[in-house]
Amino acid sequence: MRSIDEQGYHFEEWLTPKQIAADVQQVANKISADYKDKEPLFVVVLNGAFMYVADLMRALSDIRCEVTFIRVSSYYGMASTGQLEFIVPLQQVVDQRDVIIVEDIVDTGLTIHQLKAYMRAHGASSVRVTSLLFKPNKLEYDDAKPDYVGHEISDEFVIGCGLDFDGFHRNLDAIYKVKESK
Ligand code: 5GP
């Protein structure tokens, strides 16, 4: 089994590239069926979702869609006001669009909770979410439960396939789970 050691933490391979490809394919099949008569706008949350969306788009070549990218920073203290800072702003008009937000992982759900409120406030006809990984035990915002999930995970830290540790390891072709600290 492949493993990575970083800053005193030991990570072991958990989802192989083959398993991730199967997860992406099952998500793509559901989205294809649900959006076959629509023209969804995929709003990709950078940086983490870049690898997931590349795989997802290749598996979704049968639908007509658009893809755009944003980068946001959520503020816990201001969660109730729905404040969201756009570091890379949304460049597409979402009014009357069927939006699908693409995330790497949904944890507390704060980011998605705020993004959904933003999309609705800006006139989106519908807003759904797809996430490569989902931590259901950590979810604090009911409306942030992703509609299309690659894989559920318990409350463990993971890296790879877009997910970083201090900016590194996004390029790993598998998902690695932290096992122990030295
Ligand atoms: P949320 O707003 O749902 O609490 O946080 C989601 C964000 O937290 C993800 O987009 C990701 O950046 C980060 N995150 C949550 N869990 C993990 C994890 O296990 N590994 C990594 N690398 N990032 C995580």
Q: Each residue of 65-81: pLDDT tens digit? A: 999 999 998 655 444 44
Q: Which atom of ligand 1 is nearest to the CA of 45?
A: 10
**pLDDT value, residue 77:** 46
Type of residue at 171 = N
CA of 151 to the centre of ligand 1 (A): 14
**pLDDT value, residue 79:** 43
How far from chain centre, in Å, is Cα 163?
Answer: 10
Ligand 1 neighbour 104 (Cβ under 6 A): yes
**pLDDT value, residue 141:** 95
Say what the pTM is: 0.95
**pLDDT value, residue 121:** 95
* 107 in catalytic set: yes
Residue 42 and residue 26: Cα distance in Å, rounded?
17
Q: What percent of the chain has pLDDT over 70?
A: 93
**pLDDT value, residue 75:** 58
Residues paired with 6 in a beta bridge = 9
Q: What are phi and psi of 23, to 5 degrees?
A: -60, -45
CA of 107 to the centre of ligand 1 (A): 6
Give, for ligand 1, the residue of 104, 130, 133, 145 to mutate: max count of ligand atoms closer than 8 Å to Cβ: 104
The confidence band for 102, taking pLDDT boundaries of 50, 70 and 90, is: very high
Sheet harboring 84-88: ordered strands across? 84-88, 66-74, 41-46, 98-106, 126-134, 148-152
